[in-house]
Homo-oligomer: A and B are copies of this chain.
């Protein structure tokens, strides 16, 4: 990886642990293995590093969204999966979603940085809301809606059903971000949640 990219990488790690203001330019340089002044050959100033991180993450997530949408809107490709969705498949879906969000390195560090900076930076607050509130809700609404229209889930309000699916996942995610030692317990709770969700919405009522 070239130096310019390594600077972004180390900076993101540090920003996600301590927040922008607590990270010094010299600290980033140290991690990269250069001296602070050398860093200014790659970026105009400290803020430019921060902005470059946001730009890169934004395009990363735009690509990801594109990839999801291709599968998501192409009913012929996906419908078979979701029309045959058993409790086991629902468990796998929820677990994958959770573990991807939790362990994907960029996702995790970027989310923590957004968490720290959200009240101080309206742009980051909006990105957070998009990535961890609005996008998951609309994506999962679509998936669960397909499962429901196949008759495997039953509700008269897909939005609330999706909230009941996602809110506990989000809640467990924030717990693990704060304290990774709670991860095993959170995974158990996740499974119990999804099984219960399937029992609740998975039969005629």
Which residue of the partner chain B has the closest CB to A128?
B178
Residues on B with beta carbons closer than 8 Å to the beta carbon of A120: 17-19, 22, 116
Q: Chain A at the B interface: mostly helix, strand, loop or mixed?
A: helix
Residues on B with beta carbons closer than 8 Å to the beta carbon of A157: 192, 196
Query: In residues 94-153 of chain A, which contact B (Cβ within 8 Å)?
Result: 112, 115-116, 118-120, 125-126, 128-129, 133
In the docked arrangement, what's the CA distance between A189 and B170, Å? 16
Contact B171 A125 (CB under 8 A): no
Most buried by B among A120, A160, A177: A160
Interface: A168 (CB within 8 A): yes
Given contacts A17-B119, A159-B192, A200-B200, 14 further A-B contacts (CB under 8 A): A19-B19, A21-B21, A115-B116, A115-B119, A118-B178, A128-B178, A129-B182, A133-B175, A157-B196, A163-B168, A163-B189, A166-B171, A167-B168, A199-B205
- Residue contacts A-B, CB under 8 angstroms, 20 given: A16-B119, A17-B119, A19-B21, A19-B116, A21-B21, A21-B22, A115-B118, A116-B116, A116-B119, A119-B178, A125-B179, A128-B178, A129-B178, A157-B192, A160-B192, A160-B196, A163-B171, A163-B193, A164-B164, A170-B171
Residues of chain A at the chain B interface (Cβ within 8 Å): 16-19, 21-22, 112, 115-116, 118-120, 125-126, 128-129, 133, 157, 159-161, 163-164, 166-168, 170-171, 174-175, 177-179, 182, 189, 192-193, 196, 199-200, 205
